[in-house]
Chains A and B, each alone.
Chain A
Amino acid sequence: MGALRLCLSILALTAATETASALSPEPPPGASSCSGCHAAKRVDTAVPPLAGRQAADIIAQMQAFKSGQKPATVMDRIAKGFTDPEIQAIAEWYARQK
Protein backbone atom coordinates (compact mmCIF):
# COMPACT_ATOMS: atom_id res chain seq x y z
CA MET A 1 0.00 0.00 0.00
CA GLY A 2 2.75 2.37 1.07
CA ALA A 3 4.72 1.36 -1.97
CA LEU A 4 1.76 2.03 -4.23
CA ARG A 5 1.18 5.47 -2.69
CA LEU A 6 4.87 6.30 -3.16
CA CYS A 7 4.68 5.08 -6.73
CA LEU A 8 1.60 7.19 -7.46
CA SER A 9 3.11 10.28 -5.90
CA ILE A 10 6.26 9.83 -7.96
CA LEU A 11 4.11 9.51 -11.04
CA ALA A 12 2.20 12.66 -10.11
CA LEU A 13 5.44 14.49 -9.44
CA THR A 14 6.97 13.38 -12.73
CA ALA A 15 3.80 14.35 -14.55
CA ALA A 16 3.88 17.81 -12.99
CA THR A 17 7.55 18.22 -13.90
CA GLU A 18 6.86 17.11 -17.45
CA THR A 19 4.01 19.57 -17.76
CA ALA A 20 6.17 22.42 -16.51
CA SER A 21 8.92 21.46 -18.92
CA ALA A 22 6.69 21.26 -21.97
CA LEU A 23 8.92 24.04 -23.18
CA SER A 24 12.49 23.13 -23.98
CA PRO A 25 14.82 24.25 -21.17
CA GLU A 26 15.44 27.97 -21.49
CA PRO A 27 19.03 29.02 -22.11
CA PRO A 28 20.37 31.36 -19.39
CA PRO A 29 20.86 35.04 -20.34
CA GLY A 30 23.48 35.44 -23.05
CA ALA A 31 23.80 31.75 -23.90
CA SER A 32 21.73 31.75 -27.08
CA SER A 33 23.98 34.38 -28.68
CA CYS A 34 27.07 32.13 -28.47
CA SER A 35 25.93 29.79 -31.24
CA GLY A 36 26.35 32.66 -33.72
CA CYS A 37 30.06 31.75 -33.66
CA HIS A 38 30.29 28.48 -31.72
CA ALA A 39 28.68 25.94 -33.99
CA ALA A 40 26.27 23.34 -32.66
CA LYS A 41 26.74 21.25 -35.81
CA ARG A 42 29.82 20.37 -37.80
CA VAL A 43 30.84 23.32 -39.92
CA ASP A 44 34.13 24.59 -41.26
CA THR A 45 35.40 26.95 -38.56
CA ALA A 46 38.42 27.47 -36.35
CA VAL A 47 36.13 28.41 -33.44
CA PRO A 48 35.73 25.54 -30.96
CA PRO A 49 32.25 24.17 -30.15
CA LEU A 50 30.78 24.69 -26.68
CA ALA A 51 28.11 21.99 -26.54
CA GLY A 52 29.09 19.03 -24.41
CA ARG A 53 32.24 20.61 -22.99
CA GLN A 54 33.00 20.40 -19.28
CA ALA A 55 31.44 23.33 -17.45
CA ALA A 56 34.63 23.85 -15.45
CA ASP A 57 36.60 24.10 -18.68
CA ILE A 58 34.28 26.74 -20.15
CA ILE A 59 34.36 28.70 -16.87
CA ALA A 60 38.16 28.61 -16.75
CA GLN A 61 38.45 29.81 -20.35
CA MET A 62 35.91 32.59 -19.85
CA GLN A 63 37.64 33.78 -16.68
CA ALA A 64 40.99 33.78 -18.46
CA PHE A 65 39.49 35.80 -21.32
CA LYS A 66 37.86 38.17 -18.86
CA SER A 67 41.06 38.84 -16.92
CA GLY A 68 43.07 39.19 -20.10
CA GLN A 69 45.28 36.30 -19.06
CA LYS A 70 44.41 34.35 -22.20
CA PRO A 71 45.18 36.09 -25.52
CA ALA A 72 42.11 36.51 -27.66
CA THR A 73 40.79 38.25 -30.73
CA VAL A 74 37.24 39.01 -29.62
CA MET A 75 36.42 36.80 -26.60
CA ASP A 76 38.21 39.12 -24.16
CA ARG A 77 35.82 41.91 -25.14
CA ILE A 78 32.78 39.64 -24.87
CA ALA A 79 33.75 37.89 -21.61
CA LYS A 80 33.99 41.25 -19.86
CA GLY A 81 30.23 41.63 -20.34
CA PHE A 82 29.39 38.67 -18.10
CA THR A 83 29.32 38.27 -14.33
CA ASP A 84 30.71 35.17 -12.65
CA PRO A 85 27.24 33.69 -11.97
CA GLU A 86 26.24 34.34 -15.59
CA ILE A 87 29.39 32.61 -16.85
CA GLN A 88 28.68 29.66 -14.60
CA ALA A 89 25.07 29.36 -15.78
CA ILE A 90 26.11 29.54 -19.44
CA ALA A 91 28.89 26.98 -18.90
CA GLU A 92 26.56 24.55 -17.15
CA TRP A 93 23.95 24.98 -19.85
CA TYR A 94 26.41 24.24 -22.66
CA ALA A 95 27.82 21.30 -20.74
CA ARG A 96 24.33 19.77 -20.85
CA GLN A 97 23.91 20.28 -24.61
CA LYS A 98 24.80 17.52 -27.01
Chain B
Amino acid sequence: MIEHSTRRRFLAAGASAAAAFSLPRGPALGQTAPRVIVIGGGFAGATAARALKKADPRIAVTLVEANRTFTACPFSNLVLGGLRSLDQQQFGYEGVARDGIEIAFTAATQVEPQSRKVSFATGSALGYERLVIAPGIDIDWNGLPGYSQAAAQKMPHAWKAGEQTLLLRRQLEAMEDGGVVVMSAPANPFRCPPGPYERASLIANYLKTSKPRSKLILLDAKDAFSKQRLFQNAWKELYPDHLEWVALSNGGKVTSVDPAEMTLTTDFAKHKATVANVIPPQRAAHIARLAGVADNTGWCPIDPVTFESKLVPNVHVLGDAIIAGGMPKSAFAANAQAKVCATAIAKLLAGEPPSDPKLINTCYSIVAPNYGFTVAGVYVPVNGVLTDVQGAGGVSPLEAPRSVRAQEALFAEGWFNTITGEIFG
Protein backbone atom coordinates (compact mmCIF):
# COMPACT_ATOMS: atom_id res chain seq x y z
CA MET B 1 0.00 0.00 0.00
CA ILE B 2 2.73 2.40 1.04
CA GLU B 3 4.96 1.29 -1.77
CA HIS B 4 2.14 1.86 -4.19
CA SER B 5 1.30 5.37 -3.02
CA THR B 6 5.00 6.28 -2.91
CA ARG B 7 5.35 5.24 -6.49
CA ARG B 8 2.28 7.22 -7.41
CA ARG B 9 3.68 10.20 -5.61
CA PHE B 10 6.95 9.79 -7.44
CA LEU B 11 5.23 9.55 -10.79
CA ALA B 12 3.02 12.50 -9.99
CA ALA B 13 6.12 14.54 -9.25
CA GLY B 14 7.40 13.66 -12.72
CA ALA B 15 11.00 12.85 -13.49
CA SER B 16 12.28 16.00 -11.83
CA ALA B 17 15.61 15.79 -10.09
CA ALA B 18 14.00 17.28 -7.03
CA ALA B 19 11.67 14.36 -6.59
CA ALA B 20 14.51 11.90 -7.06
CA PHE B 21 16.57 13.68 -4.43
CA SER B 22 13.75 13.93 -1.98
CA LEU B 23 12.66 10.33 -1.99
CA PRO B 24 15.35 8.80 0.20
CA ARG B 25 15.41 11.79 2.50
CA GLY B 26 11.92 11.73 3.93
CA PRO B 27 12.06 10.61 7.56
CA ALA B 28 9.71 7.72 6.95
CA LEU B 29 11.28 6.38 3.79
CA GLY B 30 14.13 3.96 3.80
CA GLN B 31 12.76 2.88 7.17
CA THR B 32 9.38 1.39 7.91
CA ALA B 33 6.55 3.80 7.24
CA PRO B 34 5.05 5.07 10.49
CA ARG B 35 1.73 3.45 11.26
CA VAL B 36 -1.28 5.25 12.65
CA ILE B 37 -4.21 3.14 13.76
CA VAL B 38 -7.62 4.79 13.87
CA ILE B 39 -10.25 3.02 15.96
CA GLY B 40 -13.78 3.95 14.93
CA GLY B 41 -15.10 4.74 11.44
CA GLY B 42 -17.66 7.43 12.22
CA PHE B 43 -17.57 11.15 11.50
CA ALA B 44 -14.37 11.64 13.51
CA GLY B 45 -12.49 8.42 12.77
CA ALA B 46 -13.13 8.14 9.04
CA THR B 47 -12.28 11.83 8.62
CA ALA B 48 -9.05 11.35 10.57
CA ALA B 49 -8.01 8.34 8.49
CA ARG B 50 -8.43 10.18 5.19
CA ALA B 51 -6.96 13.44 6.46
CA LEU B 52 -3.88 11.61 7.74
CA LYS B 53 -3.29 10.06 4.34
CA LYS B 54 -3.78 13.46 2.73
CA ALA B 55 -1.43 15.19 5.16
CA ASP B 56 1.32 12.66 4.48
CA PRO B 57 0.74 9.82 2.03
CA ARG B 58 3.68 7.90 3.51
CA ILE B 59 1.81 7.21 6.73
CA ALA B 60 0.37 3.71 6.86
CA VAL B 61 -3.17 4.24 8.08
CA THR B 62 -5.29 1.39 9.41
CA LEU B 63 -8.93 2.10 10.17
CA VAL B 64 -10.55 -0.31 12.61
CA GLU B 65 -14.32 -0.47 12.40
CA ALA B 66 -16.68 -3.29 13.38
CA ASN B 67 -19.44 -2.41 10.91
CA ARG B 68 -19.17 -2.47 7.13
CA THR B 69 -21.93 0.11 6.86
CA PHE B 70 -21.95 3.38 8.75
CA THR B 71 -25.32 4.79 9.78
CA ALA B 72 -25.22 8.53 10.39
CA CYS B 73 -27.04 10.01 13.38
CA PRO B 74 -27.49 13.56 12.00
CA PHE B 75 -30.77 13.65 10.05
CA SER B 76 -31.88 10.33 11.60
CA ASN B 77 -34.58 12.31 13.43
CA LEU B 78 -36.06 12.90 9.97
CA VAL B 79 -36.30 9.13 9.59
CA LEU B 80 -38.22 8.98 12.88
CA GLY B 81 -40.51 11.72 11.59
CA GLY B 82 -41.20 9.79 8.37
CA LEU B 83 -39.47 12.39 6.20
CA ARG B 84 -36.44 10.33 5.18
CA SER B 85 -35.44 6.69 4.75
CA LEU B 86 -32.68 5.05 6.76
CA ASP B 87 -30.71 4.06 3.67
CA GLN B 88 -30.12 7.77 3.00
CA GLN B 89 -28.21 7.70 6.29
CA GLN B 90 -25.96 4.80 5.32
CA PHE B 91 -22.49 4.80 3.85
CA GLY B 92 -19.84 2.21 3.00
CA TYR B 93 -16.07 2.50 3.30
CA GLU B 94 -15.14 2.11 -0.38
CA GLY B 95 -14.15 5.77 -0.65
CA VAL B 96 -11.96 5.49 2.43
CA ALA B 97 -10.28 2.37 1.05
CA ARG B 98 -9.63 4.10 -2.29
CA ASP B 99 -7.30 6.52 -0.51
CA GLY B 100 -4.97 3.64 0.31
CA ILE B 101 -6.24 3.19 3.83
CA GLU B 102 -6.25 -0.34 5.18
CA ILE B 103 -9.60 -1.13 6.76
CA ALA B 104 -9.91 -3.83 9.39
CA PHE B 105 -13.58 -4.73 9.80
CA THR B 106 -13.28 -5.96 13.34
CA ALA B 107 -13.48 -4.67 16.88
CA ALA B 108 -10.46 -3.46 18.83
CA THR B 109 -10.41 -5.46 22.05
CA GLN B 110 -7.32 -4.19 23.80
CA VAL B 111 -4.93 -1.25 23.70
CA GLU B 112 -1.46 -1.54 25.20
CA PRO B 113 -0.02 1.99 25.34
CA GLN B 114 3.31 0.76 26.75
CA SER B 115 4.09 -1.49 23.81
CA ARG B 116 1.95 0.65 21.44
CA LYS B 117 -0.17 -2.24 20.31
CA VAL B 118 -3.84 -2.77 19.55
CA SER B 119 -5.41 -6.25 19.69
CA PHE B 120 -8.44 -7.20 17.65
CA ALA B 121 -11.42 -9.52 18.02
CA THR B 122 -9.92 -11.59 15.22
CA GLY B 123 -7.04 -12.50 17.51
CA SER B 124 -4.42 -10.50 15.63
CA ALA B 125 -2.60 -7.39 16.86
CA LEU B 126 -0.93 -4.39 15.27
CA GLY B 127 1.66 -1.88 16.46
CA TYR B 128 1.38 1.89 16.05
CA GLU B 129 3.41 5.08 16.27
CA ARG B 130 0.27 7.02 17.06
CA LEU B 131 -3.21 5.79 17.84
CA VAL B 132 -6.44 7.69 17.20
CA ILE B 133 -9.51 6.60 19.15
CA ALA B 134 -12.79 7.94 17.83
CA PRO B 135 -15.10 5.61 19.68
CA GLY B 136 -18.34 7.55 19.93
CA ILE B 137 -20.59 6.95 22.88
CA ASP B 138 -21.92 4.05 24.89
CA ILE B 139 -25.23 4.11 26.65
CA ASP B 140 -24.56 4.12 30.39
CA TRP B 141 -26.69 1.09 31.24
CA ASN B 142 -26.26 1.83 34.94
CA GLY B 143 -27.31 5.45 34.52
CA LEU B 144 -31.09 5.09 34.72
CA PRO B 145 -32.83 2.55 37.01
CA GLY B 146 -35.01 0.17 35.02
CA TYR B 147 -33.29 0.87 31.71
CA SER B 148 -31.28 -1.95 30.15
CA GLN B 149 -30.46 -3.47 26.80
CA ALA B 150 -33.64 -5.53 27.08
CA ALA B 151 -35.63 -2.41 28.03
CA ALA B 152 -34.26 -0.63 24.93
CA GLN B 153 -36.15 -3.15 22.81
CA LYS B 154 -39.42 -1.86 24.29
CA MET B 155 -38.39 1.74 24.96
CA PRO B 156 -35.83 2.49 22.25
CA HIS B 157 -33.13 5.10 22.81
CA ALA B 158 -32.47 5.47 19.07
CA TRP B 159 -29.39 7.48 20.07
CA LYS B 160 -27.23 5.31 17.84
CA ALA B 161 -28.78 5.37 14.40
CA GLY B 162 -29.73 2.05 12.82
CA GLU B 163 -31.94 -0.73 14.15
CA GLN B 164 -32.97 1.42 17.11
CA THR B 165 -34.13 4.17 14.75
CA LEU B 166 -36.22 1.72 12.73
CA LEU B 167 -37.67 0.18 15.90
CA LEU B 168 -38.85 3.54 17.22
CA ARG B 169 -40.22 4.49 13.81
CA ARG B 170 -42.21 1.24 13.62
CA GLN B 171 -43.63 1.87 17.09
CA LEU B 172 -44.71 5.38 16.08
CA GLU B 173 -46.32 4.05 12.93
CA ALA B 174 -48.14 1.30 14.85
CA MET B 175 -49.41 3.67 17.54
CA GLU B 176 -53.14 4.38 17.44
CA ASP B 177 -54.29 7.97 17.00
CA GLY B 178 -54.74 9.38 20.48
CA GLY B 179 -51.61 7.73 21.88
CA VAL B 180 -49.04 9.44 24.08
CA VAL B 181 -45.38 9.50 23.09
CA VAL B 182 -43.15 10.10 26.11
CA MET B 183 -39.53 11.10 25.57
CA SER B 184 -36.85 11.62 28.18
CA ALA B 185 -33.76 13.81 27.73
CA PRO B 186 -30.68 13.36 29.95
CA ALA B 187 -28.57 15.85 31.86
CA ASN B 188 -25.44 17.22 30.17
CA PRO B 189 -23.14 16.11 28.68
CA PHE B 190 -24.52 13.85 25.95
CA ARG B 191 -24.21 13.32 22.21
CA CYS B 192 -25.88 16.02 20.07
CA PRO B 193 -27.18 18.64 22.56
CA PRO B 194 -30.04 19.90 20.33
CA GLY B 195 -30.92 16.35 19.21
CA PRO B 196 -33.72 15.55 21.70
CA TYR B 197 -35.51 18.79 20.84
CA GLU B 198 -35.19 18.31 17.10
CA ARG B 199 -36.52 14.77 17.58
CA ALA B 200 -39.45 15.94 19.68
CA SER B 201 -40.26 18.50 16.95
CA LEU B 202 -40.18 16.00 14.11
CA ILE B 203 -42.21 13.38 15.99
CA ALA B 204 -44.72 16.13 16.84
CA ASN B 205 -44.83 17.01 13.16
CA TYR B 206 -45.65 13.38 12.36
CA LEU B 207 -48.37 13.29 15.02
CA LYS B 208 -49.86 16.57 13.86
CA THR B 209 -50.05 15.46 10.24
CA SER B 210 -50.84 11.73 10.67
CA LYS B 211 -52.22 11.18 14.19
CA PRO B 212 -53.64 14.54 15.25
CA ARG B 213 -55.29 13.29 18.45
CA SER B 214 -51.92 12.13 19.77
CA LYS B 215 -49.40 14.05 21.82
CA LEU B 216 -45.72 14.05 22.77
CA ILE B 217 -44.42 14.79 26.26
CA LEU B 218 -40.72 15.54 26.60
CA LEU B 219 -39.44 14.98 30.13
CA ASP B 220 -36.16 16.81 30.62
CA ALA B 221 -33.43 16.53 33.26
CA LYS B 222 -32.47 20.14 32.41
CA ASP B 223 -33.99 23.60 32.59
CA ALA B 224 -31.93 24.94 29.72
CA PHE B 225 -30.91 23.44 26.39
CA SER B 226 -29.30 24.21 23.04
CA LYS B 227 -31.19 26.68 20.78
CA GLN B 228 -33.90 26.74 23.43
CA ARG B 229 -35.74 29.91 22.43
CA LEU B 230 -35.71 28.95 18.77
CA PHE B 231 -37.19 25.55 19.56
CA GLN B 232 -39.76 26.94 21.97
CA ASN B 233 -40.87 29.61 19.51
CA ALA B 234 -41.25 26.96 16.81
CA TRP B 235 -43.21 24.68 19.15
CA LYS B 236 -45.59 27.48 20.05
CA GLU B 237 -46.09 28.26 16.39
CA LEU B 238 -46.24 24.73 15.00
CA TYR B 239 -47.11 22.25 17.73
CA PRO B 240 -49.11 23.98 20.48
CA ASP B 241 -51.40 20.94 20.83
CA HIS B 242 -48.89 18.21 20.14
CA LEU B 243 -45.73 18.89 22.14
CA GLU B 244 -45.32 19.51 25.84
CA TRP B 245 -41.87 20.09 27.34
CA VAL B 246 -41.48 19.43 31.07
CA ALA B 247 -38.38 21.14 32.49
CA LEU B 248 -36.31 19.85 35.40
CA SER B 249 -37.79 22.47 37.70
CA ASN B 250 -41.29 21.32 36.75
CA GLY B 251 -40.48 17.73 37.62
CA GLY B 252 -39.07 16.68 34.26
CA LYS B 253 -36.17 14.55 35.46
CA VAL B 254 -36.87 10.86 34.88
CA THR B 255 -35.59 8.82 37.83
CA SER B 256 -36.63 5.36 36.67
CA VAL B 257 -38.44 3.56 33.88
CA ASP B 258 -40.51 0.40 33.79
CA PRO B 259 -40.58 -1.24 30.35
CA ALA B 260 -43.21 -3.83 31.40
CA GLU B 261 -45.64 -1.11 32.47
CA MET B 262 -44.38 1.35 29.83
CA THR B 263 -43.99 4.04 32.48
CA LEU B 264 -41.41 6.76 33.10
CA THR B 265 -41.23 8.00 36.66
CA THR B 266 -40.16 11.45 37.86
CA ASP B 267 -40.06 12.85 41.38
CA PHE B 268 -43.58 14.15 40.84
CA ALA B 269 -45.43 11.78 38.57
CA LYS B 270 -45.57 8.51 36.71
CA HIS B 271 -46.06 8.96 32.96
CA LYS B 272 -47.72 6.15 31.03
CA ALA B 273 -46.47 5.97 27.45
CA THR B 274 -47.97 4.42 24.35
CA VAL B 275 -44.54 4.85 22.76
CA ALA B 276 -41.50 5.68 24.88
CA ASN B 277 -38.18 7.08 23.68
CA VAL B 278 -35.64 7.06 26.49
CA ILE B 279 -32.49 9.05 25.75
CA PRO B 280 -30.37 7.73 28.60
CA PRO B 281 -27.14 9.03 30.16
CA GLN B 282 -24.04 8.30 28.09
CA ARG B 283 -20.28 8.09 28.29
CA ALA B 284 -17.27 7.54 26.03
CA ALA B 285 -17.50 4.13 24.39
CA HIS B 286 -15.94 1.06 25.98
CA ILE B 287 -12.66 1.02 24.07
CA ALA B 288 -11.81 4.49 25.43
CA ARG B 289 -12.12 3.16 28.95
CA LEU B 290 -10.12 0.03 28.06
CA ALA B 291 -7.36 2.21 26.63
CA GLY B 292 -7.32 4.32 29.78
CA VAL B 293 -8.14 7.59 27.99
CA ALA B 294 -11.46 8.18 29.82
CA ASP B 295 -11.39 9.81 33.26
CA ASN B 296 -13.83 9.30 36.13
CA THR B 297 -16.44 11.50 34.41
CA GLY B 298 -16.67 8.80 31.74
CA TRP B 299 -15.32 11.18 29.08
CA CYS B 300 -11.84 11.79 27.66
CA PRO B 301 -9.66 14.80 28.48
CA ILE B 302 -7.50 15.94 25.54
CA ASP B 303 -4.90 18.50 24.58
CA PRO B 304 -6.76 20.90 22.27
CA VAL B 305 -3.79 21.48 19.94
CA THR B 306 -3.14 17.83 19.02
CA PHE B 307 -6.16 16.05 20.55
CA GLU B 308 -3.66 13.80 22.31
CA SER B 309 -5.06 12.22 25.45
CA LYS B 310 -4.09 13.96 28.67
CA LEU B 311 -3.95 10.51 30.26
CA VAL B 312 -2.13 8.29 27.76
CA PRO B 313 0.74 9.45 25.52
CA ASN B 314 0.68 8.83 21.74
CA VAL B 315 -3.06 8.22 21.84
CA HIS B 316 -5.36 10.87 20.35
CA VAL B 317 -9.09 10.96 21.04
CA LEU B 318 -11.77 12.61 18.91
CA GLY B 319 -15.45 13.32 18.59
CA ASP B 320 -18.33 12.71 20.97
CA ALA B 321 -16.09 10.87 23.47
CA ILE B 322 -13.93 13.86 24.38
CA ILE B 323 -14.18 16.74 26.80
CA ALA B 324 -13.93 19.48 24.20
CA GLY B 325 -14.49 22.62 26.25
CA GLY B 326 -16.89 24.86 24.36
CA MET B 327 -17.23 22.51 21.40
CA PRO B 328 -20.40 20.42 21.44
CA LYS B 329 -20.62 16.70 20.74
CA SER B 330 -21.61 17.11 17.10
CA ALA B 331 -20.71 15.51 13.78
CA PHE B 332 -19.42 18.85 12.47
CA ALA B 333 -17.16 19.22 15.51
CA ALA B 334 -15.93 15.63 15.17
CA ASN B 335 -15.01 16.22 11.53
CA ALA B 336 -13.27 19.54 12.30
CA GLN B 337 -11.34 18.05 15.22
CA ALA B 338 -10.25 15.07 13.13
CA LYS B 339 -8.74 17.28 10.42
CA VAL B 340 -6.82 19.32 12.99
CA CYS B 341 -5.65 16.16 14.75
CA ALA B 342 -4.49 14.55 11.49
CA THR B 343 -2.40 17.59 10.59
CA ALA B 344 -0.88 17.61 14.07
CA ILE B 345 -0.05 13.88 13.96
CA ALA B 346 1.58 14.20 10.54
CA LYS B 347 3.74 17.02 11.88
CA LEU B 348 4.61 15.16 15.07
CA LEU B 349 5.65 12.11 13.03
CA ALA B 350 7.81 14.35 10.85
CA GLY B 351 9.44 15.83 13.93
CA GLU B 352 7.79 19.22 13.52
CA PRO B 353 5.89 21.12 16.22
CA PRO B 354 2.10 21.26 15.70
CA SER B 355 0.47 24.66 15.09
CA ASP B 356 -2.22 26.22 17.26
CA PRO B 357 -5.52 25.40 15.57
CA LYS B 358 -8.79 27.21 15.12
CA LEU B 359 -11.97 25.21 14.72
CA ILE B 360 -15.54 25.83 13.67
CA ASN B 361 -18.77 24.12 14.59
CA THR B 362 -22.13 24.47 12.90
CA CYS B 363 -25.17 22.46 14.00
CA TYR B 364 -28.40 22.44 12.05
CA SER B 365 -31.72 21.47 13.57
CA ILE B 366 -34.88 20.79 11.58
CA VAL B 367 -38.21 21.29 13.34
CA ALA B 368 -40.49 20.75 10.33
CA PRO B 369 -40.11 20.44 6.57
CA ASN B 370 -38.49 23.67 5.29
CA TYR B 371 -37.93 24.94 8.82
CA GLY B 372 -34.37 24.84 10.15
CA PHE B 373 -31.99 26.86 12.29
CA THR B 374 -28.42 26.72 13.52
CA VAL B 375 -25.98 27.23 16.32
CA ALA B 376 -22.41 28.02 15.33
CA GLY B 377 -19.15 28.63 17.14
CA VAL B 378 -15.46 29.34 16.49
CA TYR B 379 -12.94 27.87 18.93
CA VAL B 380 -9.30 28.26 19.91
CA PRO B 381 -7.28 26.63 22.67
CA VAL B 382 -7.03 28.94 25.71
CA ASN B 383 -5.12 27.57 28.70
CA GLY B 384 -5.52 24.05 27.41
CA VAL B 385 -9.27 24.31 26.78
CA LEU B 386 -11.12 24.76 23.49
CA THR B 387 -12.77 28.11 24.06
CA ASP B 388 -15.38 30.13 22.14
CA VAL B 389 -13.94 33.10 20.27
CA GLN B 390 -15.73 36.07 21.79
CA GLY B 391 -18.06 37.96 19.47
CA ALA B 392 -18.44 35.02 17.09
CA GLY B 393 -20.97 32.22 16.91
CA GLY B 394 -24.40 31.97 18.46
CA VAL B 395 -27.80 30.91 17.20
CA SER B 396 -29.98 31.95 14.27
CA PRO B 397 -31.96 35.14 14.86
CA LEU B 398 -35.05 34.63 17.02
CA GLU B 399 -37.07 36.85 14.73
CA ALA B 400 -36.74 35.81 11.12
CA PRO B 401 -39.13 35.26 8.23
CA ARG B 402 -39.98 31.70 7.26
CA SER B 403 -37.89 32.17 4.12
CA VAL B 404 -34.77 32.28 6.32
CA ARG B 405 -35.84 29.11 8.14
CA ALA B 406 -36.43 27.48 4.75
CA GLN B 407 -33.00 28.57 3.57
CA GLU B 408 -31.36 27.08 6.67
CA ALA B 409 -33.26 23.82 6.12
CA LEU B 410 -31.91 23.76 2.57
CA PHE B 411 -28.36 24.46 3.77
CA ALA B 412 -28.78 21.70 6.37
CA GLU B 413 -29.33 19.20 3.59
CA GLY B 414 -26.33 20.59 1.72
CA TRP B 415 -24.26 20.26 4.86
CA PHE B 416 -25.22 16.59 5.26
CA ASN B 417 -24.35 15.84 1.64
CA THR B 418 -21.06 17.72 1.86
CA ILE B 419 -19.76 16.30 5.10
CA THR B 420 -20.73 12.71 4.27
CA GLY B 421 -19.24 13.27 0.80
CA GLU B 422 -15.95 14.41 2.31
CA ILE B 423 -15.85 11.47 4.70
CA PHE B 424 -17.27 8.58 2.69
CA GLY B 425 -17.42 9.80 -0.93
Report which A residues bind B (CB closer than 8 A).
11, 14-15, 17-19, 22-24, 26-27, 29-30, 32-41, 43-47, 73-74, 77-82, 86
Contacts and interface: CB of A to CB of B under 8 A. Distances in A.
A36 B416 CA distance: 9
B376 A78 contact: yes
11 contacts: A18-B18, A22-B26, A22-B28, A30-B357, A30-B359, A30-B378, A32-B343, A37-B418, A37-B419, A74-B362, A86-B358
Contact of B418 (A11, A36, A86): A36
A41 B423 CA distance: 11
B411 A73 contact: yes
Contact of B21 (A18, A27, A36, A80): A18
A76 B390 CA distance: 14
Given A23-B347, A45-B417, A14 B17 contact: yes
B332 A36 contact: yes
A81 B360 contact: yes
A44 B336 contact: no
Interface on chain A toward B: helix, strand, loop, or mixed SS?
Answer: loop
A44 B410 CA distance: 11
Contacts of B359: 30, 33
A15 to B, nearest CB: 4
A36 B422 contact: yes
Given A24-B54, A33-B336, A35-B422, A19 B362 contact: no
Interface residues of B, number: 59
A46 B414 contact: yes
B18 A15 contact: yes
B393 A81 contact: yes
B414 A47 contact: yes
B199 interface: no
A87 to B, nearest CB: 11
Nearest to A30: B358
Given A47-B414, A47-B415, A18 B396 contact: no
B22 interface: yes
Given A19-B22, A82-B378, A44 B414 contact: yes
B336 A43 contact: no
Contact of A77 (B340, B352, B394): B394
Which of A30, A40, A41 gathers the greatest number of chain B CB atoms within 10 Å? A30
Interface in B371-425: 374, 376-378, 380, 389, 391-394, 396, 404, 407-408, 410-411, 413-415, 417-419, 421-422, 425
Which of B28, B343, B394, B422 gathers the greatest number of chain A CB atoms within 10 Å? B422
Contacts of B352: 23
Contacts of B425: 41, 43
A32 B344 CA distance: 12
Which of B22, B377, B419 gathers the greatest number of chain A CB atoms within 10 Å? B22
A43 B346 CA distance: 28
Contact of A81 (B332, B336, B378, B415): B378
B318 to A, nearest CB: 13
B392 A77 contact: yes
B58 interface: yes
Given A22-B22, A32-B340, A77-B392, A46 B410 contact: yes
Contacts of A77: 376, 392-394
Contacts of B362: 36-37, 74, 78
A60 B356 CA distance: 25
A46 B407 CA distance: 9
Contacts of B25: 15, 18-19, 22
B86 to A, nearest CB: 19
Contacts of B77: none
B56 interface: yes
Nearest to A15: B21
Contact of A26 (B347, B389, B404): B347
A39 B393 contact: no
